[in-house]
Amino acid sequence: MVFDPALTQRIAIEMQFEYASGHELAENAHYDWIPSTNGAEGVETRELVTLETCYTCHQPDSLKAHGGRRLDLENCQSCHNGIVSDPNGVSVELGHMIHAIHMGPEREGKDAEGNVVPMPYTILGYGNREHAFDYPAFPTKPFMDCAVCHVQDEELADKDLWLANANANACTGCHTDSPAQHKSDKNPQLVCTDCHSAAVHSDHKKPYEAAKDYDVTVSNVEINANNLLEFDVQITAADGVVVTDEEIYQQGYSNPYMVVSWDIEKDYPEQAEQPTVGMTSVGTIYDHRRFSLKGDDSTTYDDGVFHVTTSKNKYKDEVIYKTYVLDLPTDINTRSLEILPVVKVCFDEGADKRVKCTADGAYPAYLQADAYRAALGDAEAVVGERRPIVDDAKCQSCHSFEFYHDSNGVNCMACHTNDKSLKGNGEASNGVALLNLNRPVSCTRLTRLKDMIMATVVAYPEDRLYNVSLSCRGLWWS
C-alpha cells in the first residue's frame, strides 16, 4: 500500500488506567485530517451507525473489546478496515464482521458441491484460537430488519449511505456465496448496489406493517349452562374485508390463540389445577386459558366468524389424550375479564398482500390488536388495566416486530403470571420448582448461560433456584 497524503488519515488513541482497587478506566479518542492540507476540511466520512444505537440491545460493558480498552466505533474502524483479515484469510473488516456475527446460526453458504449448508462466521482470534459465532446473535424478527441498527438519526452524516453505496464486504457478511457467483470473490471494487437495491431489505417489514392495521373483534360474550365462557371472534383487514380461516396461520407450537384472563389489574389469575379425572383437567393454568381458533376443538367456524367455547382437547398421534376445561370463578361477572388475541395472518413474503397460508412463500405476521376487556355484570364498569411494569418500546427496540412467540404487543404476563413455575428438576428448599435444561449446548453458550445464572445466584443467594454444573466434555445442563 502506497501512502497518499491527499486521502483522509486517522490517528486513534486508546488509554487504560488501572488502580490498586482493581478498578479500570478506559478512554478512546481519534483525529481525522488530510496530510496534504494539514487540515480537516474535506475529510471523508462514513458515519452509518452510532454506538448509542448498539446500546439498544447491548450493555455498554459488553462492547469493550480487547481487554476493555477499545470502546469507540471510530477506533474499531482504524484496525478493522477494508484490507484486514485473520490468519485464515477471513475478512474482519468492521462492516463484514458485524453483519456476519449478527447472522449467528442463520448464516449459510455453499460447500464445494454447491449445497447450502450452515456457515457461521468463524475467525481465528486471540491466542490463535478459533471462535465460531454460531449462537443466536440478533433477536429481531423479521431477521433482516436493517433499521434496527441503521436508524434515521439526523446527526449521522451518512445515515442513508448504506442504501446507496453498500460496501461489498458488508454485503458478503450475510450473502456469503454471492461474490463467487459473480466471479468477484473478495473484490474491494465490487459495489453491490451497481445492480442491486439495498432498499429491498425493508420489504421484510411489510407484512408486519400491514398486520398493525388489522382488527380482532370479540362479541357475544356469555357464560353458558356448563359455566363455560363462549364468545365470537371476527378478524378484519384495514379495508374492512373479513379474514378467512385459510388465511390464519397454525403450525407446530404457533397457534392462533385467544387467551382468557381475569383480575388483570391484580397480575392475572392464580395458576391452579384440580386433580385430573380420567383425561379431563379443570383449572386456570395457561393451558386452561388459551384456546386455538384452529385445531383444539374449542372453536367452530362459519362464514368469517369463529365461535369459541372454553374447553379444548390436546392430541397425540391424532388421538385425544387430554381435555382442558377452564375453571371460571363463580363471581366472574364482577371481575375484570380479558380476552387477548394472539393471531398470525399470512401474507406474501415481503409484501402486504394477504394470502392463504398454504400458498408458496406465505409469511405469517402477528396482528397487533387490542384485547377485549369488560366486566360482564356491568356494561358501564371501568375495567382495570394491567400494571405498567415495562416500557413496551424498549422491548420492541431490540426485538423489532416479533418476540419468540405470542407477539401481540408485550403481553407476556397473560401466560407468564407471577406464580408460574419452571418444573422438571425437583424443588428447591423454598418449594420453588427447579429448571431442568437437559439438552446439549455448545461450550461457549453453556459458559455464558452459566455465568448469567450464577450472577443471579450470587445476587439472590436465598433463592438458589438452579443446580448448575458445567462440563465442556459432556456439554449438558442438569
- Give me the pLDDT at residue 431, please: 62
Helices first, then strands: H and E counts in the chain? 10, 21
Phi, psi of 464 (to 5 degrees): -70, 90
Paired sense of beta strands 319-326 and 280-283, if any: parallel
Q: Please name the amino acid found at residue 169.
A: N
pLDDT single digits (tens) 190-246: 667 777 777 778 888 899 999 999 999 999 999 999 999 999 999 999 999 999 999
Cell numbers at 235, concatenated: 378478524
Rounded Cα gap, residues 92 and 79, in angstroms: 9
What residue ranges in 237-304 does DSSP mark as E strands?
257-262, 280-283, 290-292, 299-302
- Give me the pLDDT at residue 188, please: 53
- List the Cα angle 142/257/369 in 5-degree steps: 60
Rounded Cα gap, residues 203 and 453, in angstroms: 38
pLDDT per residue, tens digit, the chain (478 aa), is: 789 999 999 999 988 888 877 777 888 999 999 999 999 888 888 888 888 888 888 888 788 888 788 889 899 989 998 788 999 999 999 989 999 999 988 899 888 888 889 999 999 988 888 989 988 778 887 777 788 888 888 888 888 877 777 777 788 888 886 655 555 445 556 667 777 777 778 888 899 999 999 999 999 999 999 999 999 999 999 999 999 999 999 987 789 999 999 998 888 888 888 999 999 999 999 899 999 999 899 999 999 999 999 999 999 989 999 999 999 999 999 999 999 999 999 999 989 999 999 999 999 999 999 999 999 989 888 887 787 777 888 888 888 888 777 788 888 888 877 766 555 556 666 665 555 544 333 344 444 444 444 444 333 333 333 333 333 333 333 3
The 8 Å CB, 24+ separation contacts for 302-305 are 304/234, 304/242, 304/243, 304/244, 305/232, 305/233, 305/234
- Give me the pLDDT at residue 179, please: 56
Contacts of 285 (CB under 8 A, 6+ apart): 271, 272, 273, 420
Q: Are 435 and 425 in contact (CB under 8 A)?
A: yes
- Give me the pLDDT at residue 456, please: 41
- Give me the pLDDT at residue 429, please: 63
Q: What is the pTM of this model?
A: 0.75
Q: Are 96 and 103 in contact (CB under 8 A)?
A: no
What is the distance of C-alpha 109 from the center of its chain?
23
Q: Are 332 and 376 in contact (CB under 8 A)?
A: yes
Residue 162 CA neighbour count, 13 Å, CB half: 21
- Cβ burial of 277 (10 Å; 0-12, 13-18, 19+) is exposed
**Domain-wise residue ranges, the chain:** 80-196, 207-414, 421-478
- Cβ burial of 2 (10 Å; 0-12, 13-18, 19+) is exposed
Q: Are 464 and 427 in contact (CB under 8 A)?
A: no
Cell numbers at 227, concatenated: 359455566
The sign of the dihedral angle between the CA atoms of 359, 364, 365, 369 is positive
- Give me the pLDDT at residue 178, please: 61
Longest alpha-carbon distance in the chain: 89
